[in-house]
Amino acid sequence: MNNPGEVFLIPVAYWLEYHTLDIGRPWLTPEATWALLNCHMTTVIEFGSGGSTLFFARRASRVFSFETSAEWSQKVLAALRQEGLNNVRPALFTDPAEYLAAIATLPTADLILVDCNPSAVSRSKVFAEAAALLAPDGLMVVNNYGGVATPECARAWPYIDYDDPHWWGRGTRIYRKPREAAAAPGHSSQGEVQ
């Protein structure tokens, strides 16, 4: 963990409704964010930028970030510049078809976040397209997972739900892609991600 105080910041920011970009934290359930604090991250792909972009840029060697709002993208880029973080490769898309097609151009990643604006592009389609990019033993983080369909290829992946009664879309679900394709399915609630 970079700073022991950041464990305290997560619930405080969540309950006081601070903007997550201002504190550099993902807008995930607090428990899901805690679970990600010490996870290994070399290459991260995020669909939807914000506080998560700063959070991942501080921890990973490189971050590929897709966004659909030009105004929001500029705010995120300014925050990255302010912190001197230059390991993020941002991409802005206004056309959902171009957004989805560009996923195939991305490298393999050990963590993928699906938290894009659902009114701009389908999270279910993003998950389905991005699943092939996840490295074995990698994490697929799906925020507001309640309305997101799990693609066929990921139905056997074990996952942990970090639900919160105040969270839109139920909460955050973190899948782990098995090292072997034939790994047994599994599910846990409020468990630990390693």
pLDDT confidence of residue 117: 94
Quote the distance between the C-alpha of residue 101 and its chain's center: 19
pTM: 0.86
CATH topology of domain 5-182: Rossmann fold (3.40.50)
Domain ranges across the chain:
5-182
pLDDT confidence of residue 5: 47
* Distance between start and end Cα atoms, the chain: 14
Provide Rg for the chain, Cα atoms.
15
pLDDT confidence of residue 14: 54
Average pLDDT by consecutive 10-residue portion of the chain (194 residues)? Answer: 49 59 86 91 97 96 98 96 97 97 98 96 97 97 93 95 81 93 46 50
Q: Are 27 and 51 in contact (CB under 8 A)?
A: yes
pLDDT confidence of residue 93: 97
